[in-house]
A and B are shown apart, each in its own frame.
Chain A
C-alpha cells in the first residue's frame, strides 16, 4: 500500500513538471507558430523512445527574490531516445519556462547530457530556444555557457553535434551552435546574433529588424552559419533525420550501410556537360547520376553556391561530395566557397567518410574585394584540409582544371588516392586564351594580322594542352574514363580503399589557416 501511495505522488509530481511553464505559456508559444520543447523532442525522436533525465531539477538562484520562484526543469529538457532505431542524446530549451533563460542548473543539465553523449559515443542534438543568460544568476550563468562551449569543443570530431535553432539564440549563446557540426534553421522562427537590434540601435544608431539582422535566411544565404534551411519545424525535423542516415555515430565507426541501389535512369551522365567549356551545367545532376537512387543531400545549399557539398551513398556507403558548380560564378574558388569546402572536408575526414571531388573550375575569383577579404588565407584552407585528410580521397576532373584551382581540388599532389578524368578534361596551367597570349606574345604582336595569329595560337594551344592526356602521361591522373564509367570507377576506388592506412607525422595538432 505504502509504495502505491508513493507511486501516486511521483505521478503527480511528474504531471506538474511536464507542463513546463504552464498552459498559458504553452498557448503563447504555439501562437508564435512554435512547438513546445517537449513536442519538438517527440516529433524528432522515434515514437515512445524518449527517456527523460533531470525532470525534477530546480534552479538554485537566491538573489532578487528568485528563491520564491519555481522553474520546472529549470527551462530545459534533456534525455536520450532513438532515431532510425539508434540512440541519440538530446536537449531542448523550454521557452515557456522563464523564456528558456540559461541559469546554472539549466546549464548543468545540458552539460550532463553532453558528457553522456561523448562518453557513450552517440550524436548530440541541441534544440535552442532561449532568451539568453538568466541575468539574476549573474556570473553563474556565464560559467554555464563556458562549460557548454568547452564540451562542444571536446566532442568536436568525436561525435556528430547538431544544433537546431528554433527561437532566439543571442549573445554568447550562439557560440555553442557555431562550435557544432550542423546548424538547422527554420524560416521566421530562428534568430541568431551576437548583439541584437536594440543594442545596435542605441550604440550605433543603425536600425534593423531581428529577421534582417539574424533570421534563418540571413544565416542560410549570407553568413553561412546555418547548414540547413527549412520552411517549418516539421520539415526541419525531417532534414535532421535524413542527415543522420548518412552519418556514423562516432569517429570510430562507419556510417550506416544500406542496400545498394542504382541511380535513377532519368539522369543521363553523358549528356549533362555541354561541349563548349564556357557553357554552364548543374554539377548536382552529375552527382545524382552517380549516387544510389540519385539521392543527394546538399549541405549549405544557399550559401556560396559556386561550391556544392553534401552527402550521397555509393553502393550503400556514405560519400562526401565536394564539387565546383559551373552554374554559379562559373564555379570559381573564392573566400566563402573555400571556407565551405574546407570545413566539410574536415568533417568527412574526422568521421571516416570517403571524399569524392568533382572538378570543373576556371580558378580563383579575381577582385580587390576578394584579395582584401583574405582570399589567400581562406583559399589555403582547402589545400590544408585536403592534404591533412586521410580518408579515401577520389577526384574526378570533369572539364576545366586550371592553375591553382587544379592543385587545390584534391590533386594527386595533395595525395589523392585516385584521380580520374573525363575525355572533356582540360588540365593546364591556365586557360588556353591566357596561356597562348603569354607564350606566343612575340609571334602575335609581330604578325601581319595579330588577331588572326592570336586565334590560331589559342587553337594550337587548345589542341596540344587542353586535354587530360598531358597530365595522364605524367601519371598525375590514373585513368581517363568515359562519363558513364564514373560510378563503376568510384565503387572500385572505394572498395580498394577499404583498408587504407597511412600515418601522418606525430603532432599535437596542426595550425590550419583559420
Chain B
C-alpha cells in the first residue's frame, strides 16, 4: 500500500474548472506527454499533501463516457485501466460547474457506474450565487452518496477541505444504492437529484449578457472580431520582432565568440554554423510562441475565443473547417510553427488535422526575404495605380495565392484524404471570466516547453546535418580565387552542391539551374536560408543585397549565354516558395502535434507536388508571354 503512490484521475466537462483545479493541486509540476498511439495530450502532476505525494492525472475534458473523439475515448480507457502503463486511478475527482449541474450529473452517473471511488468538486459556486442560484451541498452529497466539496479554485476557497479528503480515496463514501444505468434511468435520476438540491436555478449571467450584446451583435460583433484579429496578428508580428532580432544578434555574437575560442577549422565552423545557429533556429521561435500562447490562452480563458469562432464559423465552414481554425491560420502568417500549435484548440481531430496540413500555405514571415529579393530584382519599381506600386501588388498577389491555396487545399483534403466520420460542430459559449494569471502562465509554459523539447531536438539535428552537407567533402579551391569565390567554389563541390547538380534535370522544367537547386536544398533548414546560400554561391557578400540582386540579374548559362534568371524563372521560383514546405521546424512541429511521421511526410509530399506543378505552369505561361 505504501509503495505505489495514490493515483487520482481528474474528470470533468470542458469549462468546468478542471484545469484550474489541476494547477491549484499540483502547482507547475505537471509532466506533459502523449498517450501511446494517439495524439491526445497526457498531463500528470504530483500534489504534495502533508507527507503524501499523490499522482494527479488531468484527463481530457468530456461531456460523457460515450466517446465520440479520441480525447474522450482516452478518458474511458484510463478509467477502465485499458491503457498500458496507465493503471486505473484509485480515486476520481469530478469537477462540475454549479451553474450547469444538470449536464454534469449525467457524467457523474456514468462515472459512478465504474465503481471507482469518486468525489465531486463543485466549481463556480461564487458565480452560482451571483446569478441568484441556491444549491444545498450537504443534500447533494446525501443524494449522490459521495463526498461533495465546493471549491473556488482561483481564490483557494474549499481547497483545504478537498486536500484533507484526497489522500485516502478508499475511505470515501460510496453510493448506498446502485447508480442508475441506461439513458432513461439516468435522466430520471438526474431530475430527482436536481429537485432535491437546487432550490433556486441560477439566472442568466447579466455581465455576460451585456458583453455579448456587443460581441455577438451582427455588425458590432464582426467589427470587434476584425479589430481583435488585426491586433492579435499585429502583436505577434510586431512585438515579437525586436525579441527575435535580439536573439538573432545574440546567436551571431555567440557564434563569433565561439570562433574566438576554437580558432579556425572545421570544429570552429561546426560549432558556430552547425550547433550554435541550430540552437538559434530553435530559440528564435520562442518570442512568437510565448506571445501567441499568452494571447491565445487569455482570449480562450476569458471566453472570447468561443465567440470569435462563432462569428467566423460560417466562413470556415464553407471549406470544411470550423471557426476555431481561423485563429490557427491567422497565426500562421507570422509563422506556421505557432499556428500549427494553435490548432490544439480545435476539438475535432479531423478539423484539427486539416488545419495543420494547410497552415504551411499561409505566407509566413520567413518567406519575406525570398520574396523581397526576387521581387526587388525582377519586378520593375513602377507605380501602376497612383501611389500603388507594382512590386507591392506582386507581394500582395503572393499572399493572396497562399490564402486561396490553403482554402482550396482544406476543401479538397476534407473531401478526399480525410473524409469519414465527422463529429458534429458544437461550441459552448462560457460566461466571461477572468482567468487566474497562474493558469495562463502554466498553459503557456506547457506549450513552450513542449516545443523546445520535441521540435527543438529535431531542428537542431537537421541543422547539423545540413551544415555537414554544405561543407563536405572539402576540396582545395584554385589559389588565385578571392575568399568569396573560394567559398563559392567549395560550396559547388560540397555534397549539397552535388545534390544541386544531380537534381538539375528534375528542376530544369521549372526553369531552375543547379545553383537554385543548392539553394532549395539549403532552404530546407528555413526558407530564408536560400538567400544567404545564393549569396554564397554568387560569392556576393550576404549583407549587400544589391550586389546579390545584380549578380542574379547578370548570371548566364556558361554554354548558351542565356540569362539564368529570366522573368519566367523568377516567377516560377516565387510560386515554388508559395507552396513548398521548405521548413524543418514546421515539419518537426507537425510531427510533434500529430505524434506521427506519416503526417509531416504527407504534408511535405503534397505541398512539393503542388509547388512543382504550379511552378511548372508558371514557368511555361510567363515564358510564353515574355
User: Do A and B come from the same complex?
Assistant: no
Chain A residues within CB distance 8 Å of chain B: none
